[in-house]
Chain A
């Protein structure tokens, strides 16, 4: 079956712009989580969506938002981009239940100039 698909793979934006990233989970997976990865910072949790509802949220400013559609696809939006938002944004999908593995997409590399 198809894996987790993220689009676009690469983005270059200027400060102050906004950006929308997309994540299509593995078929049947209803949980989608988003992470920000910067060099030396590991995987910082942004938020998790399940059945179109934000279930968990990390410690990021309100400029970072997301949503999930009825087909479980998810989008992440960042408004008023800052240079520090440059990072690899990864989404992961999983089944819900004990021992559910999280499968990662290839990520979207966002560069803010």
Chain B
């Protein structure tokens, strides 16, 4: 079955700096890769996603890149703000089925 690894497990950055979180997956059939943000005490919410036919996607300060050959994808957050502090989860799925999540990255943005 699919296995998703995520690094780092914790990340601290200064406000205004960039943050990068990396994930790898094992099943080459996976074709949908969402990223979720979970603030303390709240449900995970989708922040950005990418499909296997796209190499990069950007939404304001957030971008995701996908390397299908190497089976890894990354989340990039630029100009970080304190409200970006949360736990971030990557996931891989095939056609929206059976989402397998990474273990999460706790991002702290220091003012």
| Bound complex: CA A99 to CA B64 (Å) | 15
Having A56-B97, A98-B32, A100-B95, one finds 13 other A-B pairs with CB under 8 Å, namely A31-B96, A35-B101, A50-B97, A90-B44, A92-B99, A94-B96, A94-B99, A99-B49, A99-B51, A100-B32, A101-B49, A101-B96, A104-B45
What are 29 A-to-B residue pairs whose CB atoms are below 8 Å? A31-B96, A33-B99, A43-B89, A43-B104, A45-B101, A50-B97, A56-B97, A56-B98, A90-B44, A94-B99, A96-B95, A96-B97, A97-B95, A98-B95, A99-B32, A99-B49, A99-B51, A100-B32, A100-B95, A101-B46, A101-B49, A102-B99, A103-B46, A104-B36, A104-B43, A104-B45, A105-B43, A106-B42, A106-B43
| Bound complex: CA A99 to CA B96 (Å) | 6
Size of the B side of the interface (Cβ < 8 Å), in residues, is 24
**Is A55 on the interface with B (CB-CB < 8 A)?**
yes
Q: Which residues of A contact B45 (CB under 8 A)?
A: 104
Q: Which residues of B contact A (CB under 8 A)?
A: 31-32, 34, 36, 42-46, 49, 51, 89, 91, 93, 95-104
Q: Which residues of A contact B (CB under 8 A)?
A: 31, 33, 35, 41-43, 45, 48, 50, 55-56, 90, 92, 94-107
Q: Which residues of A contact B43 (CB under 8 A)?
A: 90, 104-107
Q: Which residues of B contact A106 (CB under 8 A)?
A: 42-43
Contacts between chains A and B (CB distance < 8 A), count: 68
- Decide if the interface of chain B is mainly helix, strand, loop or mixed: strand
Q: Which residues of B contact A56 (CB under 8 A)?
A: 97-98
Asked if A55 and B97 sit within 8 Å, CB to CB, the answer is yes
Partner of B97, one of A42, A48, A101, A104: A48
| Bound complex: CA A48 to CA B51 (Å) | 21
Q: Which residues of A contact B46 (CB under 8 A)?
A: 101-103
| Bound complex: CA A101 to CA B34 (Å) | 8
